Amino acid sequence: MNYIQIKQLADFEELLNIDILITGDLTQQNREREYNTWCISFDQTFIKSIKLPDLDNLLDTLIQNRSQQVKNINNGPATFYLWYDEQSFNLCFDILSGDNLKMPFDCITNIKDTPHDILIRLLHDTQADTNYLSWENLTILNPEDPEFDDDDDKYDNSKYILDVYVITLPQSTLSNFLKNFIS
């Protein structure tokens, strides 16, 4: 997994210039996941200046770039998927060989046709005046507290629902035309 912090729009260029690993071999998905998964965090000051159309444009550029990379590698199709990690306030994406893949999450996935709901949630959480990770919003448990070790045992990941935007690459010219026509 790879991490990047976006402090200005120019930082996004680094993501566009990174090579991807598409083997065309479903048995290599763990290797592809390690190489192709990105978690994007945003500088607190910078994210407050971002609007939904800005994120849409950045994501469209990223998907077009990844689509061209898949064409160039010629091991397609590949699946691009995007999600928002609300615990870390990161926007995450990955690309794996194949299509109609089982998502690698230990929870229920809600597949979205567009990334808008995911991007809106990211902006809402990261632009909020309340920082959920600030000291005022954290509960500190001490080892002698009765619930100190209980959290992991009580939480059932299989009931959590994660919104995931999924698209198969390379995108065809017709799908790009229809997407732009409908928008």
Closest CA to 75 of 35, 131, 117, 23: 23
Q: How confident is the model at residue 176 (pLDDT cuts 50, 70, 90)?
A: very low
Determine the Cα–Cα distance for residues 45 and 7; give it in Å rounded to an integer. 8
Determine the Cα–Cα distance for residues 77 and 171; give it in Å rounded to an integer. 9
Around Cβ 67, how many Cβ atoms within 10 Å? 22
Residue 34: predicted pLDDT: 95
| Strand-pair partners of 103 | none
Q: What is the pLDDT of residues 110-164, one digit of tens each?
A: 999 999 999 999 999 999 876 555 666 566 667 777 666 655 556 677 788 999 9
Read off the tokens for 170. Answer: 């390379």
Per the model's pLDDT, the better-predicted residue between 146 and 104 turns out to be 104
Residue with tokens 């959290």: 151
Residue 174: predicted pLDDT: 46
Q: What are the CA-CA distances from residue 152 to residues 30, 94, 139, 141 (Å)? A: 25, 27, 15, 14
Domain ranges of the chain: 2-182
Residue 90: predicted pLDDT: 96
Per-residue pLDDT at 2 exceeds 50: yes
Q: What is the pLDDT of residues 19-77, one digit of tens each?
A: 999 998 889 999 999 999 999 999 989 999 999 999 999 999 999 999 999 999 987 79
Q: How confident is the model at residue 103 (pLDDT cuts 50, 70, 90)?
A: confident
* 116 alpha carbon, distance to own chain's centre: 12
Question: Highest-confidence range of 101-110, 136-145, 174-183, by mean pLDDT?
Answer: 101-110
DSSP class per residue in 29-86: HHHHHHHH-EEEEE-HHHHTT--HHHHHHHHHHHHHHHHHHHHHHT---EEEEEEEET
